[in-house]
Amino acid sequence: MSTDFSSESQTGAAGASTGAAVGSRSADGLPSGADAESKSVTIPADRKAGKLRADDGRLARGRRSRARIREAANSLFRERGFDGATLRAIAERAGMGASSIYRHVQSKEELLIDELSEMQEEAWTRFRGLDDRNRPTAVRLREFFDVQHDLLVENRDLTTIALRATTKTEARVAKRVLQLYDRTIGLLMEILQRGRMKRDLGKDVDVLQTARVLFHVTNGARIPWANGMVTDADLRDSMHQAVDLLFRGVSADSR
């Protein structure tokens, strides 16, 4: 399983030509009843799809509004916590009416997922910029966790909210956070698959299960960190130790 964040190509719709059938006319020169009903004009495809013209400012205004909403949500999440930040308060902070915000977002959970998803992709982008695919797999994994760790520490509050959400099965956001976790497992699989090709891993190693173990061990190490029980440096060391233990093994036969 491999995840690639390449840009999707975009295609434009071509406008259709208009046409009308020539019908019979009545004595006064107007189309007769049957011909008048069948007479039609084809609507251009771009108008049917609601496509914005180059001179239409709705798209730009919508993006600016959503950016204001995200900024307002982030500040309120930090000030009041996720539970204390209502969508009405976010709308007020963003300078819009309570009903207007629903044109852009449906819930504050949607805003949280947007931020977490952006953090996830930023971590992968940073890792790609530093990565050398020919280095040992354990080194690459440690570096990925370092990059991810630095980004999560920068956004400590959102990270803590996400961790707490997954411990409450009734929380609406939990399912979507877990889906993001699955994407991270997919990214780890990509690194591990490369390692198996280089014979850094045994040929019978289950790459998916290994990626899951790595993810859950390192994510579990974040729980005491999120509760202020360990420092940022201690958390980084714990994740490095998880990678080292996995590769070294703990049984007597592996030493």
Q: What is the domain-level CATH number for residue 146?
A: 1.10.357.10
pLDDT at 235 (0 to 100): 93
Say whether both 91 and 214 belong to one domain.
Answer: no
pLDDT at 179 (0 to 100): 83
pLDDT at 168 (0 to 100): 66
Query: End of a domain among 103, 134, 160?
Result: 103
Say whether both 153 and 235 belong to one domain.
Answer: yes
Say whether both 216 and 90 belong to one domain.
Answer: no
Say whether both 64 and 131 belong to one domain.
Answer: no
Say whether both 84 and 160 belong to one domain.
Answer: no
Number of domains in the chain: 2
Range of the domain at 66: 58-103
Show the low-confidence residues of the chain (pLDDT under 50): 1-41, 46-49, 55
pLDDT at 60 (0 to 100): 75
Residue 40 inside a domain? The answer is: no
Q: What pTM was computed for the model?
A: 0.65
- Please return the burial class of 233, using the count of CB atoms within 10 Å of its CB with bins 0-12, 13-18 and 19+: exposed
Say whether both 220 and 241 belong to one domain.
Answer: yes
Q: What is the DSSP string of the chain?
A: -----PPPP--PPPPPPP------B-TTSSBPHHHHHH---PPPHHHHTTPPPTT--HHHHHHHHHHHHHHHHHHHHHHHHHHH--HHHHHHHTTS-TTGGGGT-S-HHHHHHHHHHHHHHHHHHHHHHH--TTS-HHHHHHHHHHHHHHHHHHTHHHHHHHHHHTT-TT-TTHHHHHHHHHHHHHHHHHHHHHHHHTTSS-TT--HHHHHHHHHHHHHHHHHHHHTTSS-HHHHHHHHHHHHHHHHH-SSGGG-
Say whether both 177 and 240 belong to one domain.
Answer: yes
CA 223 to chain centre: 22
Q: CATH number of the domain that 96 lies in?
A: 1.10.10
Are 210 and 243 in contact by the 8 Å Cβ rule? The answer is no
